Amino acid sequence: MRIGLVVNPVAGMGGRVGLKGTDGKVEEARKRGAKPRAPDRATRALSQLYDAAPETELLTWGDPMGASLARDVGFDPEVLGETTGDETTAADTAAAVTAFVDADVDLVLFVGGDGTAADVADALDGSDVPMLGVPAGVKVYSSVFAVSPEDAAVIATTFERTEAREVMDIDEDDYRAGEVHPELRAVAHVPVAEDLQSSKQTSSGTVEALAAGVADDIRAGTGVTYVLGPGSTVGAVKAELAIDGSPLGVDVYRDGEVLVRDATEAEILANLGDENVIVVTPIGGQGFIFGRGNPQLSPDVIRRCDVSVVASRSKLDTIPVLRVDTDDTALDDDLRGWTKVRVGRVERRMMKIE
């Protein structure tokens, strides 16, 4: 098996500092104290890949797009080229993918988000070489990603056929303004596997009763700090509370007051109290409650909070299981199992977290 690896080293950096993406915002993310996420995600995938198939012929691009990460886990990669400047660009990704195709790889394994997926798909246009994503971005709407870095490694070494899947992307400036308009960027060849995520789907169904019940509980929770996640379902709760919440960000609320609107990870941690509750809804069609679209809800935040999952019945009907991908495998293991999801004013449904 010959695999071409390309890493977008800045993918996902803007998430925990409240930027909802990194396109055009790398310097701003760094000023806010953001740390790279993609290299750690790449290392997890590469470690699993080396353990499962150390004989894999790994081709990659020069640092910071994969070479050292591959060597650190034990591979002796063939480095086909180098980056062109101090910051990596879409052109670097395209150059790497083109070189991989010319070198007859069996798979392009990339680490990044939807923007990286679109860049890889554009470079593969006209080629039969499949692509597979290790999720590392803030927004991961496309269905070309594995559920986790480890799953990506397993899929890469075991797949037998491919299928056509969608590469979606959104305008990050619109996203920061609270508007989500996913755009189909490409259709790509992707390995067939169970541990691939679906495209982000819009859910439907009445949430008014659900929102009213959750809001009543929040109003009664004197002294409790509520960390209200993104999404339209939690947005309905914010509307019921009559607060001007961030539609795609995280808001911190206590005793009738919004302590922080569109909070970063650091701001959330600074405003937590003795009793804290995260209110979060799964992504329709995918089932993620942590790890997609809400990186501000970091492992440090989650560990200090109870978790309340809310969703409409119609949304849960499209989701076989809930999923977590927090960047902390021990926390992921702790979160997995059966949980109650609130679906109405008082009704709950049992769902499994995997």
pLDDT of residue 182: 62
> Given the DSSP bridges, would you call strands 306-310 and 276-280 parallel, antiparallel or unpaired?
parallel
N residues, the chain:
354
pLDDT of residue 67: 96
pLDDT of residue 31: 62
The SS3 of residue 124 is: helix
Average pLDDT over every residue of 288-306: 94
Cα 70 to Cα 26, 58, 131: the distances in Å are: 24, 8, 18
> Given the DSSP bridges, would you call strands 107-112 and 2-7 parallel, antiparallel or unpaired?
parallel
Give yes or no for a cis peptide into 230 (omega within 30° of 0). no
Element (H, E) at 43: helix 38-52
pLDDT at 203 over 70: no
pLDDT of residue 106: 97
How does the average pLDDT of the chain come out, rounded?
A: 87
Residues 324, 333: contact at Cβ < 8 Å?
no
pLDDT at 210 over 50: yes
How far apart CA 174 and CA 121 sit, in angstroms, is 23
Q: What's the pLDDT tens digit per position in 114-171?
A: 889 999 999 999 899 999 999 987 767 788 999 899 999 999 999 999 998 888 876 5
How far apart CA 55 and CA 240 sit, in angstroms, is 57
Place of tokens 């699993």: 48
200 falls in which pLDDT band (50, 70, 90)? low
How far apart CA 229 and CA 214 sit, in angstroms, is 13
pLDDT of residue 88: 87
Torsion angle, alpha carbons of 47, 48, 49, 52, to 10: 120
Task: State the pTM of this model.
Answer: 0.64
Place of tokens 């799953």: 151
Q: Identify the DSSP state of 157.
A: H
Q: What's the pLDDT tens digit per position in 324-345?
A: 999 999 999 999 999 999 988 7
Q: What percentage of the chain has pLDDT greater than the value 90? A: 63
How far apart CA 251 and CA 263 sit, in angstroms, is 6
90-102 vs 114-124: helix axis angle to the nearest 10?
Answer: 40
